[in-house]
C-alpha cells in the first residue's frame, strides 16, 4: 500500500481536484511502466509468518537490504517501515507482506530485470536469517490471529474501520498479495478508453493469474480467493465503477466519485490523524471534524486517492489491480499483458471492441465467475478461456508493434513475457489449478508442501 503522498499546496477550489488527475497526462514518448508485487514471508523452520521484529523478521530483512544492498531507510515513529533506491521502494503491507514498488521504466525487459534483482537481493538476505518468501494470492494456511500487524499508523486506522464495513477487510490486509502495473495516459480521452478497457478486462487478468485456492489449510472453492475477498471489503471504495462507462465520464467525474469515498486519515507531521468515515467534501469547506477549521492540500487529496480500491483506479497514472501474486514469470507477465493492450492504439481499440457491448451486469458477472472458476468461467455465451485467448492475441500484437528490443537487440520485442499466460490458455490451467492438482495428488492433502515447491 502507498506511502504518504506529496501532491502540492492548498486547495483553493474544487476544480483543482480534477486538474490534479489531468496533470498526469503525458506524450506517448514519456509513458513508463511501474510494476508492484507483494509476497509472504515465513520462518523456514516453523513455516509460520515472520513477525515485525526479531532474528527472523520483516525488520531483519529490511535491515539486510539496507546494509548489504544500498537501500535507504524509510521510518515512521522511529521504526524502519520501508526502503528507497533509484526511484523504487520496498514497503510493508499490513500483515508483513513485503512489496516492491518498482521504478518507472521504459520496457518490460527492464521491469523483469528489476524483479530479478529484487528477488535475488531478498533471497540473499532471507537465507542468512532463515526466512523464505512465497508468491501466492492468499495465505494458504495461516489464520487471522497468526498474522502480525505492521507498526504503521495508516494500517491501525484501516484495521479498525475494516471491522465496520464489509466482512473481509481484515483478511485482505493480512492474508492477500497481488501484482499490479501502473501505466500512463496521454489525455482525458485516452484515460477514459484505457480505464474502460482496464475495468472490463480485469476479470481476464483475475482468471489468468488465479493463484489463491486455499485458505485456513484447505481448498476454499475459488481459484482466486483474493478476488473473492475484494468483493466483500467495502462497497464505498471497491468494485467495477459502472459510472466510468457512462457518457461524459472524465477526470471531473472520477474526482466527484473520490470525494464521496469516506476518508481514513489525514497525514500531518509524521502522524496519521483519525478521520475514519469523514467526508473530503467537508474537508474542502473547513468542516472536517478531525481538523476543524483546516482546509486540505493537494497532498491530502493525493493521500485520499490511495485509499480507494476499485479493480482499476487513476491517480496521476492508472493502476491495474485485479491479479493474484504469483511466481516470478507472472510478475513479468502481468505488466506485459497490460502494456500490450494499453500502449499501442490499435491494440487498445481492439480490446475495447471486445468489451464495449457488455453491460454492467455482464462485467460484474465476469468478475465473480473469474474468482470462482478462473479460466473455466462462463457468463452467458462468454467463455473465459476463449476470451483470454483473444485478449492475449491482442496484447501480443500490441507488444510486437511496440518492438522494444532487449539483450542488446538479441530479443526483438517483449512478446515472450506472455509465455506463462500462453501456457495457461493452451492447457486450461492457471497456477491455482496446478496447486489444486498437487494438493489432491502428490501432496495427499499436506498443504505444507507448498512452501518447499513454490517459494521463490
Find the CATH number of the domain harbouring 433. Answer: 3.30.590.20
307 part of a folded domain: yes
Q: Tell me: the pLDDT tens digits for 218-262?
A: 999 999 999 999 999 999 999 999 999 999 999 999 999 999 999
- Which pLDDT value is given to residue 7? 65
- Which pLDDT value is given to residue 2? 61
In which domain, by residue range, is 159 found? 15-454
Q: Tell me: the pLDDT tens digits for 293-325?
A: 999 999 999 999 999 999 999 999 999 999 999
Q: Report how far residue 311's alpha carbon sits from residue 298's, in angstroms, rounded to the nearest whole number.
A: 24
Q: Report how far residue 411's alpha carbon sits from residue 407's, in angstroms, rounded to the nearest whole number.
A: 6
Give the H/E segment covering residue 79: strand 79-85
Residues in the chain, overall count: 456
Closest by CA position to 203, among listed 237, 239, 168 = 239
10 part of a folded domain: no
7 part of a folded domain: no
Domain count within the chain? 1
Backbone phi, psi, residue 344, to 5°: -135, 125
106 part of a folded domain: yes
Instruction: At 220, list the grid cell.
Output: 476454499
Say which DSSP state 443 is in.
Answer: T
- pLDDT of 6 over the 90 cut: no
Percent of the chain topping pLDDT 70: 99
- pLDDT of 384 over the 90 cut: yes
- Which pLDDT value is given to residue 9? 86
Q: Tell me: the pLDDT tens digits for 53-65?
A: 999 999 999 999 9
- Which pLDDT value is given to residue 3? 63
367 part of a folded domain: yes
Rg (CA), the chain: 21
Arithmetic mean of pLDDT over the chain: 97
9 part of a folded domain: no
- The overall longest dimension of the chain from CA atoms, in Å, is 64
Q: Tell me: the pLDDT tens digits for 157-196?
A: 999 999 999 899 999 999 999 999 999 999 999 999 999 9
334 part of a folded domain: yes
Q: Residues 329-353: what's their mean pLDDT?
A: 98
Q: Does the pTM exceed 0.95?
A: yes
Q: Residue 19, class by beta-carbon neighbours within 10 Å (0-12 exposed, 13-18 middle, 19+ buried)?
A: middle
Closest by CA position to 161, among listed 261, 242, 255, 39 = 261
Backbone phi, psi, residue 357, to 5°: -85, -5
Residue 341 contacts by C-beta under 8 Å, 6 or more apart in sequence? 197, 201, 347, 348, 351, 391, 394, 395, 398
3 part of a folded domain: no
- Which pLDDT value is given to residue 10? 93
Q: Residues 420-449: what's their mean pLDDT?
A: 98
CA–CA distances in Å: residue 259 to residues 224, 304, 442? 30, 9, 51
Say which DSSP state 3 is in.
Answer: P
Q: Residues 122-144: what's their mean pLDDT?
A: 98
Amino acid at each position: 500500500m502507498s506511502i504518504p503522498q506529496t501532491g502540492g499546496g492548498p486547495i483553493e477550489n474544487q476544480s483543482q481536484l480534477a486538474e490534479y488527475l489531468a496533470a498526469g497526462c503525458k506524450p506517448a514518448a514519456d509513458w513508463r511502466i511501474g510494476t508492484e508485487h507483494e509476497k509472504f514471508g515465513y520462518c523456514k523452520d516453523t513455516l509460520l509468518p515472520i513477525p515485525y521484529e526479531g532474528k527472523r523478521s520483516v525488520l531483519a530483512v529490511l535491515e539486510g537490504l539496507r546494509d548489504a544492498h544500498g537501500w535507504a531507510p524509510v521510518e515512521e515513529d522511529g521504526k524502519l517501515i520501508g526502503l528507497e533506491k533509484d526511484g523504487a521502494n520496498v514497503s510493508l503491507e499490513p500483515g508483513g507482506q513485503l512489496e516492491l514498488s518498482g521504478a518507472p521504466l521504459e520496457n518490460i525487459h527492464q521491469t523483469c530485470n528489476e524483479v530479478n534483482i529484487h528477488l535475488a537481493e531478498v533471497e540473499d538476505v532471507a537465507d542468512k536469517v532463515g526466512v523464505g518468501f512465497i508468491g501466492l494470492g492468499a495465505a494458504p494456511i495461516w489464520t487471522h490471529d497468526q498474522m502480525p500487524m505492521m507498526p504503521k499508523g495508516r494500517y491501525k486506522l484501516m484495521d479498525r474501520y475494516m471491522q465496520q464495513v464489509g466482512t473481509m477487510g481484515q483478511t485482505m490486509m493480512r492474508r492477500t498479495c497481488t501484482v499490479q502495473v501502473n501505466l500512463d495516459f496521454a489525455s482525458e480521452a485516452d484515460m477514459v478508453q484505457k480505464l474502460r478497457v482496464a475495468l472490463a478486462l480485469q476479470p481476464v487478468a483475475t482468471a489468468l493469474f488465479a493463484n489463491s485456492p486455499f485458505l485456513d489449510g484447505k481448498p476454499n472453492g475459488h481459484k482466486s480467493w483474493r478476488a473473492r475477498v475484494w468483493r466483500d471489503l467495502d462497497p464505498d471504495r471497491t468494485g467495477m465503477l459502472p459510472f466510468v462507462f457512462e457518457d461524459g465520464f472524465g477526470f471531473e467525474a472520477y474526482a466527484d466519485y473520490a470525494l464521496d469515498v469516506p476518508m481514513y486519515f489525514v497525514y500531518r507531521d509524521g502522524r496519521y490523524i483519525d478521520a475514519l468515515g469523514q467526508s473530503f467534501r467537508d474537508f474542502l469547506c473547513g468542516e472536517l471534524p478531525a481538523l476543524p477549521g483546516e482546509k486540505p492540500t493537494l497532498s491530502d487529496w493525493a493521500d485520499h486517492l490511495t485509499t480507494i480500491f476499485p479493480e482499476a483506479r487513476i491517480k496521476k497514472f492508472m493502476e491495474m489491480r485485479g491479479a493474484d501474486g504469483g511466481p516470478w514469470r507472472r510478475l513479468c507477465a502481468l505488466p506485459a499483458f497490460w502494456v500490450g493492450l494499453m500502449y499501442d492504439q490499435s491494440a487498445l481499440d481492439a480490446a475495447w471492441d471486445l468489451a464495449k457491448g457488455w453491460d454492467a451486469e455482464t462485467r460484474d458477472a465476469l468478475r465473480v465467475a473469474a474468482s470462482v472458476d478462473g479460466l473455466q468461467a462462463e457468463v452467458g455465451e462468454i467463455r473465459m478461456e476463449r476470451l483470454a485467448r483473444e485478449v492475449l492475441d491482442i496484447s501480443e500484437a500490441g507488444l510486437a508493434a511496440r518492438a522494444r528490443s532487449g539483450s542488446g537487440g538479441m530479443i526483438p520485442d517483449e512478446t515472450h513475457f506472455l509465455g506463462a499466460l500462453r501456457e495457461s490458455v493452451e492447457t486450461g490451467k492457471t497456477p491455482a489449478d496446478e496447486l489444486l492438482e498437487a494438493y489432491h495428488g502428490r501432496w495427499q492433502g499436506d498443504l505444507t508442501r507448498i512452501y518447499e515447491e513454490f517459494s521463490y
